[in-house]
């Protein structure tokens, strides 16, 4: 991979990391005892009406999967940035084969070549 491409991917990943961290900070509180972990906060409902409690519970239930999805994506982005530092970015972490440049342009945080990704998806469906 050319140095210019690598620098472009790093810039994209840094921007994506900042965006994801911002989204998570608006949605949840960072866990001080576990780096990179966020916790959706359940609002205090003491003394609230049943309607308010139900509304807060519904909001919490809706935000929790969003938080988990954002955390997972942030983890993949951070991992990709680590691979750039280790000079292994662009290589499939399972097969060791190069990841197609077009695939990286579409999903810069991907750790897998298309062949491995398809195999993993196939295995999770069965």
What is the Cα gyration radius of the chain? 19
pTM above 0.85, yes or no: no
Q: What is the pLDDT of residues 60-81, one digit of tens each?
A: 566 677 888 999 999 999 999 9
Q: Is the separation of the CB atoms in 56 and 42 below 8 Å?
A: yes
- Tally Cβ neighbours within 10 Å of residue 56: 15
For 88-120, how does the pLDDT look when each residue is reduced to its tens digit (9 = 90+)? 999 999 999 999 999 999 999 999 999 999 999
Is residue 36 over pLDDT 90?
no
Return the H-helix or E-strand segment holding 50. Answer: helix 50-85
Distance of CA 108 to the CA centre of its chain: 12
CA distance 27 to 39: 9
Residue ranges covered by each domain of the chain:
1-87, 90-126
């Amino acid at each position: 991979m050319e140095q210019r491409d690598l620098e472009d991917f790093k810039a994209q990943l840094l921007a994506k990391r900042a965006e994801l961290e911002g989204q998570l900070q608006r949605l949840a509180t960072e866990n001080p005892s576990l780096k990179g972990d966020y916790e959706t906060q359940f609002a205090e409902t003491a003394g609230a009406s049943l309607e308010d409690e139900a509304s807060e519970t519904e909001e919490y239930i809706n935000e929790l999967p969003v938080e988990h999805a954002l955390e997972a994506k942030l983890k993949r982005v951070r991992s990709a940035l680590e691979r750039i530092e280790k000079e292994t970015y662009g290589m499939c972490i399972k097969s060791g084969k190069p990841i197609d440049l077009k695939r990286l342009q579409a999903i810069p945080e991907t750790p897998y070549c298309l062949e491995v990704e398809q195999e993993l998806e196939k295995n999770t469906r069965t």
